[in-house]
Amino acid sequence: MRELVGRPYHELRARLGKDLSVRELVEAYLDAIEAFDGQVRAYLTVTADQAREQARALDDRLARKEPLPPLAGMPVAVKDNLCTRGVRTTCGSRILESFVPPYDATAVERLREAGAVVLGKTNLDEFAMGSSTENSGFFPTRNPWRLDHVPGGSSGGSAAAVAAGEALAALGSDTGGSIRQPACLCGVVGLKPTYGRVSRYGLVAFASSLDQIGPLALDVRDCALVLQAISGRDPRDSTSVEVPVPNFAASLEAGVRGLRVGVPTEFFGEGLQPEVRHAVLDAVRVLEGLGAVVEEVTLPTLEYALPTYYLIACAEASSNLARYDGVAYGYRSPRARDLYTLYARTRAEGFGPEVKRRIMLGTFALSAGYYEGFYKKAQQVRTLVRRDFDRCFEKVDVLATPTSPVAGFRLGERTTDPLQMYLADVYTIPVNLAGLPGISVPCGFVDGLPVGLQVVGRPFDEVTVLRVAYAYEQATDWHRHRCPLFRG
């Protein structure tokens, strides 16, 4: 197991069908889950039997010398807000504890078609609302680097699984930072694609104008491979965009010479941990050393992004979550006397405190008399945030910022203060408001906890985002560090 686990897929692939079978690779990962997940608790459901069956089918194809699909045998984990046919999909909520979808999300279906083997479903903050995975209705996940720290969230299970060698890659969802922030805190690579790049069909909706599915992986190349498999227009999601899907891995090695990298002043202000600032500015200097042209830019609306996001995200959530009423699916309170108490009790018993808080905030923001002042105003500010980014991208090709203002926090440290928790995403949220692609790559450590560099690009320019991240990664060795747990 130790020889195989923790090596990127692009290094292993050539061995498949030679000195390595899919079965061996999948068993190594199932062993790692067995060995580490008791401590990390990344998974809500492990689908070992299905994974073994899929591995057998792929080995048969190998034996017949059939051409291999691009991700053949890659053991992956899927965030539990993505529908999986015949496999429980809880969204980290008691209200969906025993919900079994009759279909696969498009992203999951495309991963399977590409030959990836799904190991199971990972833990998350309930309905993806949170930044630490402590809002899960089941249990918190732990950071594999330091088990008394959070893995970030809401895709904390996916990030922790990849960091702990319990999956080679994973799918997450990112509404305000939920792929990039946990990737950062767990020392792995995580990418949020442009809004519309990946189909959201089968992703349980949180805030539909912000939600986007993306990959978490050990390095940038693996991340590009997974993105390739899941990208592209899907007639079942009208917001997925009909634009060509480039070959993401093909241009990774193009380098950054002459590329203009913007460093937005506002992302290095108050609230940023000094050691994180250091690590990120060092990373910018590495890019400069590789020939990039670094230039300071400004994003004056940054300070309004967080409140704007929490108005829009909560408003959309309050509408999206109206469907959990005990009628069509999910939990139904046994204590209901009539239709009204069926709704009220089901929701009171089924949802956790953070979800209830957001439904109330969102309902308030949308209600008569407040709509103009809150929801409409937030939409207007959202436009201003996007214009700020547009202005930056007239001058530079990408932006480089910290992913998270701090290198992690302890379990329990922020659970009693929602505003502190919301601040965890202050640098990732503006990117969702503007619908842009963003990646987090490891760029150092503070007290044994990983730090991440965020690279943000123009709409549908994942190619440049990946290229910059790859150039940085290849010039450093942060992505080769493995967590202590995993080294045994």
Told to check if 313 binds ligand GLN by CB under 6 A, we report: yes
Which residues, numbered 416-475, are part of the site for ligand GLN (CB under 6 A)?
425
Size of the site for ligand GLN (CB under 6 A): 13
214 is an interface residue for ligand GLN by CB under 6 A: no
Q: Is 377 a catalytic residue?
A: no
Q: Write down the least CB distance from residue 226 to ligand GLN, Å.
A: 18
Name which of 8 and 172 has its Cβ closer to ligand GLN: 172
Whether 121 sits among the annotated catalytic residues: the reply is no
Backbone angles phi, psi at 32, to 5 degrees: -65, -40
Binding mask 25-64 for ligand GLN (x = CB under 6 A): ----------------------------------------
Query: Which residues partner with 401 through β-bridges?
Result: 454
The sheet with strand 75-79 has its strands ordered as: 43-46, 117-122, 75-79, 169-174, 212-217, 189-192, 438-446, 449-457, 398-402, 260-264, 293-297
Q: Nearer to ligand GLN by C-beta: 227 or 426?
A: 426
- Is 215 an interacting residue with respect to ligand GLN (CB under 6 A)? no
Binder of ligand GLN out of 47, 89, 158, 178 (CB under 6 A): 178
CB of 385 to ligand GLN, least distance (A): 16
Asked if residue 136 binds ligand GLN (CB under 6 A), the reply is no
Name the residue nearer to ligand GLN (CB basis): 161 or 311.
311
Is 154 among the residues known to form the active site? yes
Enter the tokens of residue 177. Answer: 């930072």
Work out whether 154 is an interface residue with ligand GLN (CB under 6 A).
Answer: yes
Q: Which of 132, 158, 178, 440 is catalytic?
A: 178
Q: Which two tokens stand for residue 346?
A: 């089901």
Give the x-and-dash track for 116-135 against ligand GLN (CB under 6 A): ------------xxxx----
Binding mask 82-111 toward ligand GLN (x if CB under 6 A, else -) reads ------------------------------
The residues carrying an active-site annotation are: 79, 154, 178
> Which residues in this chain contact ligand GLN in the complex, by CB under 6 A?
128-131, 154, 174-178, 206, 313, 425
